[in-house]
Structure 1
């Protein structure tokens, strides 16, 4: 079997060593000049950072419709008190744990898109995140992630270390089945380990494993471009503690350490995309404190990312976008929590973001038969904004349907 045929057949193969999981279907692709398309480099110099709020974030307690009395009627014990909420306009406020985001909001670099979901939403964690990851219809099953299709349509240039860097998750998500991605399950371990050692004895016993290890070796060389090297710029930004903070710190140091094969520093050009995961948003029970802690981690992480990207001179060419499989039910449950719902609010931040409120505010008087909010913005409109205005790609070809981009970016 030829190497390229093996890579295609083993697109989902994984190698886990030293606490770090790595995937790279088509490992040599970005180094092959046939895949370097003129002009694409400028598009991918605009960095995308995806932040997955895993478990389904409660949009109503994140972006609070405090002026609607129905909000407090539906959420008598878990609703965010009006006196504590951070008011954005005459009817909308942020959860108090998101106070650190106000510096980005006041700089008009934070957009909040409300009412984000999709038609005929699915309330299964597994199926709904699959829909978000592949940008499919609810009745459609696609194999490749939406970023995988984007990078296939316009490959990332060969002087990038990889298509993308995945931190804090063993799942490839929007990069599944084809993207040349470096996945680091344990970011702290990655920062300590300089190289991975191939188990030669296993290779000798198993010819198929030899192919996988060759793929792994290609990834290690790509990942090595993202490791701190002597003489690289040392970030002064202080990063928050915890797993999410460690992921952000690793990602930002990777950007600071990225360089071309000639050794010339190119901050921000190590990868075209970064995917971060913050776990724990499936808040069926005792939501108030748990949710506040998660939002506090998220806000601290966003502020640290902004600081580091400004420090690197990359804030104007970085776009941070949140996503999750769904929102939460409007009415609180009997366990002081919320069950799986539909539409939610999402954040978009960056130096070229036209800050403000977008989308459809929660219409609590128009719930469906299951007590869920109507869809105001299809999530694929956010993807179309990334693909089109941000990267200059053919969004309709990647998404397999036309979606209007949102006016979230300044020229």
Structure 2
């Protein structure tokens, strides 16, 4: 059976093997432990892994997490609303889009949090500027060039912790922009030739091109190359195979995977359903693999997007750039459930958008503080409170 077929089967059935293995670890063929197995032995002592899933283009939160009990939803979206008899109800008011069915096992096991009303106050309708705000973790009136994860890595540098990062599905550095490394040709990411051959890569076993230069004391940091696999599920598989956290206790890792296509100005219903199905399959696949490798309890998966979509549909059976939207957080330490206020379509703002109830930076503060144990204010440059959704 091919690896992709196994991952898809595991995701679809919710099955997962419990044998703990490091990322990209291989099974030994002799009595001599291989380097991957040495990494696997240390898996239980390793630090925390963040996986960001970027929904590029502005995901429609209202058709992702559906307020199916609100008549205003169907009045505003006569042609693109998700029918009541098709939604996956989470309670008496809120439901998931039917394409997200593969997330149900995580919801039922209490490991999926649905955070409603997430966004940026005074959001910008430009894709570029809004994504810059989300990537830098800043207020709308603050202009920065360094990503919020780059500032997190800077704290680890001071403490000499081991940290690693990887990007799949996009060549943009995004939240990693401004990391302390230099490169003569392209964004300074060191190259990992094959994750299966380098499951615990570091500066001694990465394969640098002649013009690759890493400057300064990078606190034993490792970087996987930005890449654009053929499909989102290829990106998910690549992410699951990438050794982003070393074997040392107290190490940390961050991966970003991009799913593009959410700028649904026309013919949204069919396009959005396909995208959400890919998202659900990707998350289910990651869950199956991380459980199999003994990493699920040390991982936090978060979705994010530059903005939501308009509450009212447009004449092209699509939506325009909007305001707040719902996002997902999942992992072995997540206290599942609904967080934030359900969409109140009677309280649209002056531009007809859903108002922001939860500052998007609270998602980041939850990662930085309770999950990673970093000093949040020094990274977000503001007093941002984490969300109370992680178990100790």
* TM-score normalised according to structure 2 size: 0.77
After superposition, what is the alpha-carbon deviation per residue over 1:27-73, rounded to whole angstroms, capped at 9, x for unaligned? xxxxxxxxxxxxxxx99811111110000000000000000000000
Measure, in 2, the Cα distance between the counterparts of 1:70 and 1:171: 38
> How far apart are 1:402 and its partner, in Å?
0.4
Written as runs of structure 1 = structure 2, the 5 A alignment for 1:1-150 is 45-150=47-152
Written as runs of structure 1 = structure 2, the 5 A alignment for 1:208-357 is 212-215=211-214, 222=222, 243-255=231-243, 272-357=253-338
Alignment partner of 1:176 is 2:185: no
Measure, in 2, the Cα distance between the counterparts of 1:259 and 1:54: 29
Give the 3-state SS of the residue equivalent to 2:264 in structure 1: coil
Give the 3-state SS of the residue equivalent to 1:163 in structure 2: strand
CA 1:317/1:333 → structure 2, altered by over 3 Å: closer, same or farther?
same
> How far apart are 1:243 and its partner, in Å?
1.3
Measure, in 1, the Cα distance between the counterparts of 2:207 and 2:369: 38
Answer yes or no: is the 8 Å Cα contact 2:51–2:255 preserved in 1: yes
CA 1:178/1:43 → structure 2, altered by over 3 Å: closer, same or farther?
farther
Answer yes or no: is the 8 Å Cα contact 2:45–2:250 preserved in 1: no
Measure, in 2, the Cα distance between the counterparts of 1:267 and 1:251: 21
> How far apart are 1:143 and its partner, in Å?
1.9
Over the aligned positions, Cα root-mean-square deviation in angstroms equals 3.2
Give the 3-state SS of the residue equivalent to 1:154 in structure 2: helix
After superposition, what is the alpha-carbon deviation per residue over 1:221-263, rounded to whole angstroms, capped at 9, x for unaligned? 95689xxxxxxxxxxxxxxx961111111121123x9655xxx
After superposition, what is the alpha-carbon deviation per residue over 1:281-302, rounded to whole angstroms, capped at 9, x for unaligned? 0000100010000000000000
Measure, in 1, the Cα distance between the counterparts of 2:246 and 2:329: 27
Give the 3-state SS of the residue equivalent to 1:277 in structure 2: strand
Measure, in 2, the Cα distance between the counterparts of 1:122 and 1:223: 31
Partner residue, 2:339: 358
Give the 3-state SS of the residue equivalent to 1:129 in structure 2: helix
Of 389, 398, 406 in structure 1, the residue corresponding to residue 379 of structure 2 is: 398
Measure, in 2, the Cα distance between the counterparts of 1:214 and 1:365: 55
Measure, in 2, the Cα distance between the counterparts of 1:281 and 1:72: 21
> How far apart are 1:89 and its partner, in Å?
0.3
Measure, in 1, the Cα distance between the counterparts of 2:232 and 2:158: 27
More deviation in 57-66 or 138-147?
Answer: 138-147
More helix by share: 1
Measure, in 1, the Cα distance between the counterparts of 2:190 and 2:278: 20
Measure, in 1, the Cα distance between the counterparts of 2:169 and 2:189: 8
* TM-score normalised according to structure 1 size: 0.74
Measure, in 1, the Cα distance between the counterparts of 2:390 and 2:315: 41
CA 1:289/1:378 → structure 2, altered by over 3 Å: closer, same or farther?
same
Answer yes or no: is the 8 Å Cα contact 2:165–2:224 preserved in 1: no
Answer yes or no: is the 8 Å Cα contact 1:169–1:183 preserved in 2: no
Answer yes or no: is the 8 Å Cα contact 2:65–2:326 preserved in 1: yes
Measure, in 1, the Cα distance between the counterparts of 2:112 and 2:326: 13
Answer yes or no: is the 8 Å Cα contact 1:156–1:272 preserved in 2: no
CA 1:258/1:272 → structure 2, altered by over 3 Å: closer, same or farther?
closer
CA 1:267/1:86 → structure 2, altered by over 3 Å: closer, same or farther?
farther
> How far apart are 1:156 and its partner, in Å?
8.6
Q: Which runs of 5+ in 1 are unaligned?
A: 1-41, 199-209, 226-240, 261-265
Measure, in 2, the Cα distance between the counterparts of 1:170 and 1:308: 25
> How far apart are 1:91 and its partner, in Å?
0.3
Measure, in 2, the Cα distance between the counterparts of 1:356 and 1:313: 24
